[in-house]
Amino acid sequence: MSAHTPAPLPAPLPAPGPPATATPLLELRGVATGFGGNTVLHGVDLAVRPGEIAGVLGLNGAGKSVAMKVVAGIQPVWDGQVVLDGNDITGLGAEDRVAAGMGHVTQGRQVFGGLTVEENLRLGAYTLRQRTPERYAERLEQMLEKFPRLRERANQRAGTMSGGEQAMLAVARALMSEPRLLLVDEPSAGLAPTIVGELFELLREVNADGVTILLVEQNIAFALDVVDTVHVLQRGRIVHGGPTVDLDRDALTQYLGIGRLLTASVGLAGRD
């Protein structure tokens, strides 16, 4: 084997998937995509059940954020299907997917720094205001009640807020459209551990309100503490899928390559 030949993948663990009685809210069926002549996702299958927090974990370059962009309608699918609540949405653009019930917290949060907090929230309600404009004021009040710090800063420019406050705003903005499915891409990036803990607790509360969450995260310890189901992505392929409580620690540390630290984290997650 040459120095440039990648090591063979470990044998995939069995993925139990949702019970036959549970219809997935979101499915990726054999999804392949990439850029130019470079294939990034190689036939990805993934199912997210209603009411759960599902996590897509993997190392840098595994294809996690590309998979999220496929779900959000930002990255085109070369082959396969994206299915939401039994409907094939593969050909729908990002705006139409928001209208169909998706919210998206993008990597890096991407708040509009020159606009106020309330203006950011108003933009997040674009499809809601088109569909039922009379709901906007009520939904805005719900978000300001849920996020008191945003009420305090409603007239403050988003770019002057701390990273944690901007992350909070990004979540609230995505929730303004009343999504059934919330996509959250690398929420811990650039945040202090204490702020990450607060943010993940907030995501638990959002999930408890009935919103299904698909989370892409590189911080394995934090992710395992919040997700119900783990999907491990390696070199553009799902190599493990199943409930967090049923994780095989040894196989997972082999897939993710972070040894004892992850093993300890998995052990803690398994005791919750």
Q: Domains plus CATH for the chain? A: 26-101+179-271 (3.40.50.300), 111-178 (no CATH)
pLDDT of 6 over the 90 cut: no
Over residues 99-125, mean pLDDT: 91
How many Å apart are CA 26 and CA 270, to the nearest integer?
Answer: 25
Residue 11: exposure state from Cβ atoms within 10 A (0-12, 13-18, ≥19): exposed
Answer yes or no: is pLDDT of 238 > 80. yes
More confident residue, 122 or 5: 122
Digit-coded pLDDT (tens) for 187-220:
888 888 888 888 899 999 999 999 999 999 888 8
Q: What is the mean pLDDT of residues 39-51?
A: 96
Q: What pLDDT score does 217 carry? A: 87
Q: If you average pLDDT over residues 21-43, what whole number do you get?
A: 92
Q: What is the C-alpha radius of gyration for the chain, rounded to an integer number of angstroms? A: 19
Other residues' Cβ atoms within 10 Å of the Cβ of residue 221: 18
Nearest alpha carbon to residue 103 among 117, 87, 123? 123
pLDDT for 257 = 67
pLDDT at 16: 39
Report d(CA 32, CA 257) in Å as an integer: 25
pLDDT of residue 258: 58
Q: Which residues contact 34 (CB under 8 A, 6 or more apart)?
A: 40, 41, 66, 78
Mean pLDDT of the chain: 85
Q: Give the length of the chain.
A: 272
The model's pLDDT over 64-107, given as tens digits with 9 standing for 90+, comes to: 999 999 999 999 999 999 999 999 999 999 999 999 999 999 88
Q: Are 203 and 171 in contact (CB under 8 A)?
A: yes
More confident residue, 271 or 164: 164
pLDDT-wise least confident of 102-111, 177-186, 211-220, 254-263: 254-263
> Bigger pLDDT: 109 or 121?
121
Mean pLDDT, residues 31-51: 96
